[in-house]
C-alpha cells in the first residue's frame, strides 16, 4: 500500500484526501508537526509527500528513499526543494488555479478598502470617533492607475474586475508578455512612478525576494498604495514600515508576511494606514475542495505511472 505523508494543513477534516487515496489503495499519514526533524523521520516510509506550508527541504527528500512525488497544496513552490527533486527524477506538482477567483477578489477588496478608507473609518468609528473629516481627502477610483507586478492567473483574473471600476491598468513582467490581457506593459520603474495602486502577483524566488525595498518605495507616488496577496518575502517589511511612517507612500494592504504568522505587535501592523488579513485570500469552501481533490488526484496519477496534470519540473 502506498503511503502519502501530509506535512500540514489549513482545513479541519481529511475526508477528501482519504477518499481519493483510498480509492487508489493508498493510505494517508499526517505529520504531528511540520518541522524538519519530524518530517525526516516520517519520510522514510513515504511514497509521496503533500505539503501546504511546511518546508520540504533537501534533508526531507534525502530521508525518503521510496519517494515518487512531492505535491504542493497550493500554488507557490518556494517551500519545496525542487532542484533536489529534479535531480532524483521526482515529479513536483501544484494546483495553479484553484483560488484564482478568491485571491483576485481579495486583492480588489483590499484596493477598495484602501481607496475608500473603509478599514480606516471602520477602526475609528468602532473606537467611538464619528468623523468623516479624519479620512479626507478621498479620490475617485475611476481614472486611477493600477499597476500589476506579475501577470499570472490571479493577476489576469483581476484585470477585468479592475477595469469594471474604471481603473487604467499597467503591468510589468520579466518577459514583457501581456498574456492577451491588453494591459499596457511597462518597466518596473515606470509602473512604480505612475501607479496609484500596486498589486503584487510575483512568485518568490531568490531574484524577487525583497524586490520592494527602500529604492522602490522612493519611486512610488506619496499618494500610492501597495497591495500584496502573493508572498510576504517579496516585501522588505522594515523598508515598508519606514516608507509609510515617513509619508513616502500612503499605505498598504497585506495578506502575506515574512515570517508567518507575523508579529502583530510590530508598528507596521498596528499602523491604521495598513490593512492586515491573515493569509486569508485563498480561502473559500470551493477553492479548498478543488485544491485538495486535485492535488490528491495528481499523486494517484504518479502512482499509476501517468503524467500528473500540473507538473512543474521534469518537463
Q: Is 231 a catalytic residue?
A: yes
Catalytic entry in 9, 72, 172, 231: 231
CB 138 within 8 A of CB 162: no
What sign does the CA torsion over 171, 174, 176, 182 have?
negative
The set of residues, in sequence order, having a beta carbon less than 8 Å from that of 305 and lying 6+ positions away, is none
CB 272 within 8 A of CB 248: no
Catalytic entry in 168, 279, 293, 297: 279
Q: Is 101 a catalytic residue?
A: no
Cα first-last separation, the chain: 28
Catalytic entry in 260, 266, 289, 306: 260
The set of residues, in sequence order, having a beta carbon less than 8 Å from that of 298 and lying 6+ positions away, is 69, 71, 93, 308, 309, 310
If you ran DSSP here, which 8-state letter would residue 232 be given? Answer: G
- For residues 296 and 77, what is the distance between their CA atoms, to the nearest angstrom? 17
Q: Cell digits for 14?
A: 481529511
Q: Is 260 a catalytic residue?
A: yes
Active site residues: 231, 260, 279
Amino acid at each position: 500500500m502506498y503511503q502519502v505523508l501530509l506535512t500540514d494543513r489549513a482545513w479541519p477534516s481529511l475526508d477528501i484526501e482519504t477518499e481519493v487515496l483510498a480509492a487508489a489503495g493508498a493510505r494517508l499519514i499526517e505529520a504531528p508537526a511540520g518541522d524538519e526533524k519530524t518530517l525526516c523521520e516520517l519520510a522514510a516510509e513515504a511514497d509521496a509527500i503533500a505539503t501546504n506550508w511546511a518546508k520540504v527541504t533537501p534533508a526531507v527528500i534525502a530521508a525518503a528513499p521510496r519517494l515518487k512525488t512531492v505535491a504542493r497544496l497550493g500554488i507557490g513552490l518556494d517551500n519545496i526543494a525542487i532542484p533536489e527533486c529534479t535531480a532524483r527524477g521526482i515529479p513536483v506538482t501544484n494546483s495553479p488555479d484553484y483560488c484564482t477567483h478568491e485571491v483576485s477578489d481579495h486583492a480588489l477588496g483590499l484596493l477598495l478598502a484602501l481607496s475608500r478608507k473603509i478599514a480606516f473609518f471602520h477602526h475609528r468609528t468602532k473606537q467611538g470617533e464619528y468623523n468623516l473629516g479624519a479620512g479626507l481627502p478621498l479620490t475617485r477610483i475611476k481614472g486611477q492607475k493600477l499597476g500589476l507586478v506579475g501577470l499570472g492567473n490571479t493577476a489576469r483574473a483581476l484585470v477585468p474586475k479592475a477595469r469594471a471600476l474604471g481603473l487604467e491598468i499597467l503591468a510589468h513582467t520579466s518577459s514583457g508578455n501581456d498574456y492577451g490581457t491588453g494591459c499596457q506593459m511597462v518597466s518596473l520603474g515606470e509602473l512604480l512612478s505612475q501607479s496609484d495602486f500596486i498589486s503584487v502577483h510575483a512568485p518568490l524566488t531568490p531574484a524577487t525576494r525583497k524586490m520592494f525595498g527602500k529604492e522602490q518605495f522612493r519611486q512610488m507616488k506619496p499618494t500610492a498604495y501597495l497591495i500584496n496577496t502573493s508572498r510576504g518575502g517579496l516585501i522588505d517589511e522594515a523598508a515598508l514600515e519606514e516608507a509609510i511612517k515617513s509619508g513616502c507612500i500612503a499605505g498598504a494592504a497585506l495578506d502575506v508576511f515574512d515570517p508567518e504568522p507575523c508579529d502583530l505587535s510590530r508598528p507596521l501592523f498596528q499602523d491604521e494606514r495598513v490593512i492586515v488579513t491573515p493569509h486569508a485570500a485563498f480561502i473559500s469552501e470551493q477553492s479548498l475542495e478543488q485544491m485538495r481533490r486535485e492535488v490528491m488526484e495528481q499523486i494517484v496519477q504518479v502512482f499509476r505511472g501517468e503524467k500528473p496534470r500540473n507538473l512543474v519540473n521534469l518537463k
